[in-house]
Amino acid sequence: MNKLYNKSELGFSIVFIVIYIVGASLCDMLSDVVKISKIFTFLFLFVLSLSLYFWIKRNNLLDKYGLCKTKFKHKNFLFYIPLLILISTNFWFGVKLNYNFINSLFNVLTMLCVGFVEEIIFRGFLFKALEKDNVKYAIIISSVTFGVGHIVNLFTSGFNNWLPNICQIFYSMAVGFLFVIIFYKGGSLIPCILTHSLVNAFSVFQNTQAITPLIEILISIAIIVVAVFYSIVLLKTLKTSKKPNL
């Protein structure tokens, strides 16, 4: 890992994006074969999460990749209320147990790992690799890449669910933009990891039967509005963190 990282941080990030997407997709299919939803996906992502964390820690890169406290007080981030709104979206139309206990457990555990892995790869590795050359391009590319990366859900969940997946691509770009601004301005990826993980985990209990195509679109618009508005506020009010890149 170190050899590839030292040669090219961008190449390093791309390799892990591919490993994540391909590995998770294959494990989803294996899990479906044994009829225990996400069991192999969880094991894969859990090992990947631990590997990424301990590699970052061993190489003294915790500050660089945001696994540290922000230098700002909570009030500077509006007490993270917009993030709480994003987390709550899964409960706007009720709660439903969509799986049995075992499948619910592995889905929740998987989604928690997804939040960590995706933030480290897209906001951490990819953004930091690009930031050195051009911050604006780094923000745009990491956000768009994160959103487009969700296109794989069209193939794994079936084209019958095309509308939720298309909506997810667009609001993921907006949320990705927000998360990279939080990281860039505050120097910490922890709020992004927590929000991302909880949004994913709570989606397991979303009452999807109550969500019509129109409601799906309206929820997506609401998420985009909250994310963009919060991003603009942070850009206007916070000075960029000066934490060193180690």
Indicate the domain borders of the chain.
2-237
Residue 155: CB atoms within 10 Å: 10
Is residue 115's pLDDT more than 60? yes
pLDDT band, residue 240 (cuts 50/70/90): low
What's the Cα-to-Cα distance from 94 to each of 81, 109, 110, 208, rounded to whole Å?
A: 21, 21, 22, 9
Record the tokens describing residue 193, joined without a space.
């990891």
CA dist 132 and 175 (Å) reads: 22
In this prediction, residues 200-228 reach a mean pLDDT of 93
Confidence of residue 208 (pLDDT cuts 50, 70, 90): confident
Structure tokens at 87: 């987390």
User: Could you tell me if 36 and 103 are in contact, meaning their C-beta atoms sit under 8 angstroms apart?
Assistant: yes
The predicted structure's pLDDT at residue 244: 42
- What pLDDT, on the 0 to 100 scale, is given for residue 158? 56
Q: Look at residue 57 and tell me whether its pLDDT is greater than 80.
A: yes
Residue 126 pLDDT: 95
Query: Which whole-number Å values give the CA distances from 147 to 12, 68, 98, 142, 208, in the listed order?
Result: 20, 25, 25, 9, 21
Residue 57, CA distances (Å) to 4, 66, 190 in order: 17, 11, 15
The pTM for the full model equals 0.91
What's the whole-number average pLDDT of the chain? 91
Residue 192, φ and ψ in degrees, nearest 5: -70, -45
Q: What's the pLDDT at 109?
A: 98
Instruction: Tell me the per-residue pLDDT of 120-168, one tens digit each, with 9 for 90 and over.
Output: 999 999 999 999 889 999 999 999 998 887 666 655 555 566 677 788 8
- On the question of pLDDT at 13 being above 80, the answer is yes
Question: CB within 8 A of 157, min separation 6: which ones?
Answer: 165
DSSP state of 243: -
